[in-house]
Amino acid sequence: MDLPRHHTIRETSHRILDPFTDDQLATLGQALHLTPGTTLLDLACGKGELLCTWARDHGTVGTGVDLSTVFVAAARERAAELGVDVTFVQGDASGYVADGPVDVASCVGATWIGDGVVGTLDLLGRSLKPGGIALVGEPFWRADPPEAARAIGDFLTLPGLVGQTRDAGWDLVEMVLADEHSWDRYVAAQWLNLRRFLDEHPDDELAPSLRHELSTAPLEYVTNQRPYLGWGVLALVRRS
């Protein structure tokens, strides 16, 4: 089992596979007051930038799990580049539980692995020490969107998202939110990746669908996504 190719093509140049900048990811690590030896598990870890840079900056250790062989290979290369103590596993994160309890368990931008935020928190909780922190990255509506925008996904508002996690038995203890600039850096960079792939592989079997995406995605983004859709990482501790 592997991730479909169009995902890895779209994010060829990305290190962070979410609408976060390097600074925002660093801010999240600082906000958690990470210390050397803190143990982490990152489900659907992508290219492992969270685990690798936090290990470099804070001395944390941990494991990342992702379905994509391409992303896991990139994550291992990044860990070797930075010389950090991080392990990456290629596999289905939706049923993965750490061998031993960890201090921080995260799923940043892939809550489909738990069929939504609440299910993902339940999954992360199975790997957490008592009092450990769960990190969940999730989109939310910043403003009431037009009907055309709602086709992007069935999201809550930020108050709705915070209320959902509260009602599921978790205390919100920190959060770092994306902004329009970080959304641009994530989404617009995909367009250049698509264009370069099409220029280099015009006869690829995915070329027609990627050509259609490049022809429609920018206008769709600036019309229906950029003005309305937020994203952020919530840090949560389960109530005892």
Positive or negative, the Cα torsion across 26, 96, 70, 79?
positive
Type and span of the H or E element at 112: none
CA distance 221 to 175: 25
Q: Cβ neighbours of residue 200 under 8 Å, at least 6 residues apart? A: none
Q: pLDDT value at position 3?
A: 85
Q: pLDDT value at position 151?
A: 87
| Tally of CB atoms within 10 A around 122 | 16
Looking at the DSSP bridge assignments, the partners of residue 61 are: 39
- 94: three-class secondary structure by DSSP: helix
Q: pLDDT value at position 34?
A: 97
CA distance 11 to 90: 18
Is the CB of residue 67 less than 8 Å from the CB of residue 88? no
Q: What is the DSSP string of 122-138?
A: HHHHTTEEEEEEEEEEE
Is the CB of residue 45 less than 8 Å from the CB of residue 13? no
Q: pLDDT value at position 220?
A: 95
Instruction: Give the residue from 191, 225, 176, 230 showing the smallest Cα distance to 22.
Output: 176
Instruction: Please provide residue 83's backbone torsions phi and psi, each rounded to the nearest 5 degrees.
Output: 65, 45
Q: Cβ neighbours of residue 95 under 8 Å, at least 6 residues apart? A: 123
Instruction: Give the residue from 73, 74, 75, 71 showing the smallest Cα distance to 55.
Output: 75
Count of alpha carbons within 13 angstroms of residue 94, beta-carbon side: 11
Is the CB of residue 120 less than 8 Å from the CB of residue 114? yes
Full pLDDT tens readout for the chain, 240 residues: 788 899 999 999 999 999 999 999 999 999 999 999 999 999 999 999 999 999 999 999 999 999 999 999 999 999 999 999 999 999 999 999 999 999 999 999 999 999 999 999 999 999 999 999 999 999 999 998 989 889 888 999 999 999 999 999 999 999 999 999 999 999 999 999 999 999 999 999 999 999 999 999 999 999 999 999 999 999 999 998
